[in-house]
A = this chain, B = another copy of it.
Amino acid sequence: MNKELSSVKALTFDVFGTVVDWRSSVIKELNELGEVKGISADWDLFADKWRGGYAPSMDKVRKGELPWKSIDQLHRMVLDRLLNEFDISDLSEQEKVHLNKAWHRLAPWPDSVEGLTKLKHKFTIATLSNGNISLLTNMAKHSGLPWDVVLSSELARHYKTDKEVYLTALSLLDLEPSELMMCAAHKDDLLAAKALGLKTAYISRPFEFGPDKPNDATDDMPFDIIADDINDLAEKLGA
């Protein structure tokens, strides 16, 4: 292990895309609902648009055009718009609530539980996601993710990549920046953490956006670790 990483005591993980495969999970739930309700639609496109609506919704909150909203609330706003756009009108309120919670039931990538379990022996492992606390807690129970502590942008009332999110995690974990490593499949998340002095690990998830859309990996990434998956991260950290 890189000697400069010997200071690391805790790891915070981005969740959507890094630990769980949101796209396949959401498409599967949409297909199942379509089957039950007799609705056909391009569910792959629906899932991509659902995820795609999330960053612009956060920006509206950032700009003050909307009051603070949890990711559950943002997901529901985008869902209501998409149901209209896809001309799907025969879902009950209960069905919409259940569908919106598909984001609480995302399946881990095949290496996630094993890799996190290894890392947990050596480090404190935490979420640091834009997902709200209840979403992350339900997901951990659903998918067996062995977090020591569930941290969320919700606790800062800011979304990543706002610096308040990382600073809140440092404060709650009572750590210096060099003692915390941010782990994510997204460069912008890691660059924001690195700017505050956190250590960083890029976890490659080439299929996060499906088979045809590449992830954001490049050859010149300035992170402490570049890992193929979470098992590889554990190996590179000697866990």
- The interface of chain A, by Cβ under 8 A from chain B, is 70, 72, 124, 126, 132-134, 136-138, 140-141, 148-150, 154-155, 172-175
Main DSSP-derived SS at the A contact region: helix
Query: Contacting A134 at CB < 8 Å: which of B154, B155, B173?
Result: B173
What separation, in Å, do the CA atoms of A124 and B137 have in the docked complex? 8
Query: Closest CB-CB distance, A10 to chain B, in whole Å?
Result: 9
Known: A133-B172, A134-B173. 12 other contacts (CB 8 A): A124-B141, A133-B149, A134-B172, A134-B174, A137-B149, A137-B173, A140-B149, A148-B150, A149-B149, A149-B150, A150-B150, A154-B172
Bound-state Cα–Cα, A141 to B126, Å: 12
Closest 5 CB pairs of A and B: A134-B174, A133-B172, A137-B149, A149-B150, A134-B173
CB-CB under 8 A from A174, the residues of chain B are: 70, 72, 132, 134
Minimum distance in angstroms from A170 CB to a CB of chain B: 10
Contacts of A137 in B (CB 8 A): 124, 126, 148-149, 173
Q: A36 to nearest B CB, angstroms?
A: 25
B140 near A148: Cβ-Cβ < 8 Å: yes
Q: How far is the CA of A174 from the CA of B70 in the complex (A)?
A: 10
